[in-house]
Amino acid sequence: MEDESERPIGSFEGSPPIGILRRPLRCIVKLGGAAVTCKHEVEKINEEDLGRVSSHLRQAMMGCGPVTEVLGMDWSRGAGAAGIDSISDFNEYAIPNLESLIIVHGAGSFGHFQASKSGVHKGGLHVPIVKAGFVATRISVTSLSLAIVRALAREGIPAVGMPPFACGWSTTERNVASADIYQITQTLNAGLVPVLHGDAVLDNQQGCTILSGDVIIRHLTQQLRPEYVVFLTDVLGVYDRPPANPKAVLLREIAVEDDGRWSVVSPLIQQATGEGVEITVAAHDTTGGMGTKISEAAAIARLGIDVFITKAGTDHSLRALRGELLGASVDDWLGTAIRPAQRPLR
């Protein structure tokens, strides 16, 4: 019998095979829903911000600037698509060697309204309003995911949508119980970029729940061990109080101990522990908001993996995506680095 203490972090009874990656996973990116949607307008995408983020992801993956030739992979008839006439352009086109990457995006102004109004996150799939809300939530979040996949494809990124519900993710008491990691490793080995998202899933105890993108990232990190993780948000990082507060201070670096305790390394503020940091969550957010982000990022750092939280579409986010901050000082960078304690910087 397997010793419980020897089981890999994040594994669970009956877990399917993970598969072997042909090359190390460079990065897992969490694209915050608020960074690419208009959070005060239900189901509205911020096309400009989404386009900028997609361009930065291409530059980070391909090691090239914004002027490099790009052949889009969205051959649909929809707005922004390259169109089927572009297919012939690929005859003599060599797709650049890409960094291995997984993208997980949040829902933003998609899905949260439907989930909170129907109580999907609380379970009770046998209740008519919950069942209807489950369906409505999935319609909403998958429509956003399609828009994001198309935006990435227009930048020449071979992105493929992998909705957790459809890919066999489920929970028990809102903790991950099953996840088809093998399908993700095979997708990466094929040179494709998996795109997952927060989703409504089945729960073995309460019938259904909302599986947040942050929890998905933590599970993927435990199983696949990327070099680093980047959270792209609509603010520069984690603050000691709500960012709208004029007295809010950006926490530049947080150190996480082996036992999970974390403290602010920079700047030196009076509230130097997690208990002193004020966290707020929007009334419609069913996934925990920034509080969940910090706890999940700290859990990732405990694995020995650096986490960077910064504003999407900025030079700071591009540097983080490129891995320039890995093991380096963050003095000239705006964002929050969450790292294992006692790690020396180069």
CB contact at 8 A, 234 and 335: no
DSSP 96: P
For the chain, the first-to-last Cα distance in angstroms comes to 43
The annotation places the binding site at 107-108, 112, 213, 234, 289, 293
Distant-in-sequence, close-in-space partners of 131: CB < 8 Å, separation ≥ 6: 125
The angle at the Cα of 220, spanning 9 to 310, to the nearest 5 degrees, equals: 115
The annotation places the binding site for substrate at 107, 112, 213
Q: Where are the beta strands (DSSP E) in 23-85?
A: 27-31
Show the tokens assigned to 105.
């995006």
Tokens 């002027």 sit at which residue? 67
CA distances from 312 to 24, 38, 50, 63 (A): 25, 14, 9, 18
Backbone Cα Rg of the chain: 20
CB contact at 8 A, 104 and 196: yes
The annotation places the binding site for ATP at 108, 234, 289, 293
Neighbours of 193 (CB within 10 A): 23
Its sign, for the CA torsion 95, 96, 101, 105, is negative
Comparing CA positions, the residue from 38, 73, 68 lying closest to residue 55 is 68
| DSSP codes of every residue in 193-252 | EEEEE-EEEEETTTEEEEE-HHHHHHHHHHHH--SEEEEEESSSS-BSS-TTSTT--B--
